[in-house]
Amino acid sequence: MSRRQIADVAIVGAGMVGAALALDLAQRGFEVALVESRAPAPWRAEDEVDLRVVALAASSIALLQRLDVWTAIASARASAYRRMRVWDALAPGALAFDAADEGASALGYIVENKLIQSLLWQAIERHDGIMLRCPARVVASELDAHGDTRSLALDDGTHLRAHLVVAADGADSVLRNLLGIETRDRDYAQRGIVAHVAHERPHEATAWQRFLPGATLAFLPLTDGRSSIVWSVADEEAARLLALDDATFRAELGAAFDFRLGAIAATTARAAFALRMCLAERYVAPRFALVGDAAHVVHPLAGQGVNLGFRDAVELAGVLDDARIRKADIASEATLRRYERRRRSDNAISAHAFDAIQSGFGSDVAVVAAMRGAGLALVGRIAPLRRFFARRAAG
């Protein structure tokens, strides 16, 4: 696409969600401009497994299949999880989900962020319908005089024009702030500690999650037999755990996990990230829309953040394609409100549900613990309820 053309859609941010949206739109025949501050590091099979992994639900895998990148991802390094086990440290209730109960081969896949980003980026570079501007940053955006396009001023002094601008530039979105879209934020005063660990017993292609007083601990299966952990704890406790030597950390981690997979035999270096909830008050403005973390950041306990973002991309691409088929303005207020209605409510419900689960299961009050244990047991015994939660977790 010529740099002098007006793009149908300009997307700012080529992370997983922005890149997937760009490819989806380009494959539908839209002229797309994609602005990114830096190219992702290439994924290499010989490198250690990246600490940042995601649990891809069926809906996300369907998108990646349609974009013709899933086969390469799956053959490189993707670990299927066929079962989920959820239990509480203070109550007897437990939940168990099995893909076989749904007639599926897997509930989802654990995949490195870096691998997904790398393969999406390669596909973008090969696509003639995407004009890639990288490295470049947006410094200003305004609606053009006639109101039928929006312009983006880049830090190299150049400008882009598009009928629609989409912010996919993350939780601290520059574009969202430039357009004055406010957010509702909650700082959980927690950090998620991540590492890859080896353990005595096989992970059984199972995603494990244990609720502890004031904390949650997830073990996610990797292809090499290890597990990727996400241990969400209070800030002060995170600082303590990060400062431990490896032997002490492994001992505490094994105890926190009730030695469900035996002793922890080895661990990689640890890292941590702050946990918060951030919900945009609105998803659209004149010729402008938010997707992914620019629109919503949720607690990671259910591993649904990127899946919600991919659902944003699918919905927006579908709404725009439908408008074009009807020969309507792809960025009219009616078109964009349709996208907002469909995604904002789902994302808000999900965010507040994860927040309620985190609050309820984080309590060490005996009555609360007994109630949640009974709740887990009830869901586990009632097949329709169990299937509902399994399908929700699988997207």
pLDDT tens figures, 195-231:
999 999 999 999 999 988 889 999 999 999 999 999 9
Mean pLDDT of 10-29: 98
- Residues near 117 by Cβ (< 8 Å), separated by ≥ 6? 14, 15, 16, 19, 40, 43
Residue 262 has pLDDT above 90, yes or no: yes
Between 252 and 385, residue with greater pLDDT = 252
With cut-offs at 50, 70 and 90, classify the pLDDT of residue 66.
very high
- One-letter amino acid identity for 315? E
Instruction: Please state the rounded mean pLDDT for residues 22-35.
Output: 98
At residue 385, the pLDDT reads 42
Reported as a pLDDT band with limits 50, 70 and 90, residue 5 is: confident
Q: Where are the beta strands (DSSP E) in the chain?
A: 7-12, 32-35, 53-56, 78-81, 83-88, 94-98, 108-112, 130-133, 138-143, 150-154, 159-167, 183-199, 206-212, 215-221, 227-234, 264-267, 271-280, 284-285, 288-290, 296-297
* Digit-coded pLDDT (tens) for 298-313: 987 656 789 999 999 9
pLDDT above 70 (res 278): yes
Span 150-179, average pLDDT: 97
pLDDT for res 352: 75
- Structural domains in the chain? 7-66+114-184+279-356 (3.50.50.60)
Phi-psi group of 103: left, alpha or beta (phi > 0 → left; psi -120 to 50 → alpha; rest → beta): left
| pLDDT recorded at residue 369 | 52
> Residue 121: is its pLDDT beyond 80?
yes
| C-alpha span between 237 and 346 (Å, rounded) | 33
Is pLDDT of 391 > 80? no
Angle at 78 between CA 303 and CA 230, to 5 degrees: 35
What pLDDT score was predicted for residue 350?
82
Least confident of 78-82, 100-104, 158-162, 366-370: 366-370
Q: Give 174-195 pLDDT, tens digit per residue.
A: 999 999 999 999 999 999 999 9
Q: Which amino acid is at 1?
A: M
pLDDT at res. 27: 97
Please state the rounded mean pLDDT for residues 77-88: 92
Residues 339-370: tens digit of each pLDDT: 999 999 889 888 877 776 666 555 555 545 55
Contact between 191 and 48 (Cβ < 8 Å): no
Of 94, 13, 137, 67, nearest to 375 by C-alpha is 94
Q: How confident is the model at residue 106 (pLDDT cuts 50, 70, 90)?
A: very high
